[in-house]
Amino acid sequence: MPGVTAAGSVSRNVSCRSTRTVHTPHAISRDMQKLLERELRSGELVVWSQQPRPSALARKSSTTFLFGIPFFAFAVFWTFVASGGFDSSHTRKSSWPSWFPLLWGGMFIAVGACLLLSPLWAYWKALRTVYAITDQRAILIVAPWRRTIHSFVGQHLVDIHRVENNSGRGDIVFHRQAQSGKRGDYYYDTGFLGIERVREAEDMLRELYAKTRAP
């Protein structure tokens, strides 16, 4: 069932829809092209499409990866020491059951492993992501397991934030959500992330807004 996000975009999960013709000026994988075709409305044409660069999204997880190194190492060390290590007498003298350090420490080891694997998850997620600009809207499809579609129309096509490096690569952020954590605030961006020729995509979004806005 469709829902409207805080950014005013339409976000929903879908199972299957009829296939329609799609024109893709930028090469995308066959699987993601099929997903894009299923999302198109009758008569809707794609004027721009692109997949994010996996390496770019993987690098965005570098902070999480670096934090995961000491976290994982400490979790393994604590579990090893708390379970007695090489000293079998420690287990007999401890006040907790012998299985408790393995259970408790194992949970933190699993969390640390997830932190260490976050760049690989981001890389895989990028391979299952496609961005498109049609003659009606901007579309973002993310489908690592379950498919999620965001559609942006109207003012949200131009209320954007562009980040660009010297090579012309970068991000177009439609919505930035701030979340508080123990280490301070961090941000979750929704948009066209890790794309080539980011300014070209921004220009097309502004052209689309100019063509579709009410007179």
> Kind of pairing, strands 138-142 and 129-134?
antiparallel
User: How far is it, in rounded angstroms, from Cα 163 to Cα 205?
Assistant: 15
pLDDT confidence of residue 106: 86
**Whether 90 and 111 share a structural domain:** yes
**Whether 9 and 41 share a structural domain:** yes
**Whether 152 and 83 share a structural domain:** no
pLDDT confidence of residue 47: 92
- Establish if 73 belongs to a structural domain: yes
Q: Which residues contact 59 (CB under 8 A, 6 or more apart)?
A: 119
**Whether 41 and 74 share a structural domain:** no
Domain that holds residue 86: 62-118
Per-residue confidence at 9, pLDDT binned at 50, 70, 90?
very low
Per the model's pLDDT, the better-predicted residue between 18 and 168 turns out to be: 168
Q: What is the pLDDT of residues 15-27, one digit of tens each?
A: 434 334 444 445 6
Q: How far is CA 132 from CA 91, 174, 204, in A?
A: 59, 13, 11
How large a percentage of the chain has pLDDT more than 70?
75
pLDDT confidence of residue 182: 60
Ordered DSSP codes for 60-86: TTHHHHHHHHHHHHHHHHHHHHHTTTT
- The dihedral built from the CA positions of residue 121, 122, 123 and 125, taken in this order, carries a sign that is positive
Q: What is the pLDDT of residues 115-152, one digit of tens each?
A: 999 999 999 999 999 999 999 999 999 988 888 999 99
**Whether 147 and 207 share a structural domain:** yes
Ordered DSSP codes for 155-169: GGGTS-EEEE-TTS-
Q: Which residues contact 120 (CB under 8 A, 6 or more apart)?
A: 58
Q: Residue range 149-159: average pLDDT?
A: 90
- Establish if 123 belongs to a structural domain: no
**Whether 151 and 206 share a structural domain:** yes
Domain finish residue from 118, 143, 164: 118
- Establish if 204 belongs to a structural domain: yes
Domain tally, the chain: 2
At residue 113, the 3 state secondary structure works out as helix
Instruction: Tokens 């469709």: give the residue.
Output: 2
Q: What is the pLDDT of residues 44-74, one digit of tens each?
A: 999 999 999 998 888 888 888 898 899 999 9
**Whether 205 and 145 share a structural domain:** yes
**Whether 141 and 207 share a structural domain:** yes
Q: Which of 79-102 are b and which e, b meaning 16 or more Cβ less than 10 Å from the residue's Cβ?
A: beebbbeeeeeebeeeeeeeeebe
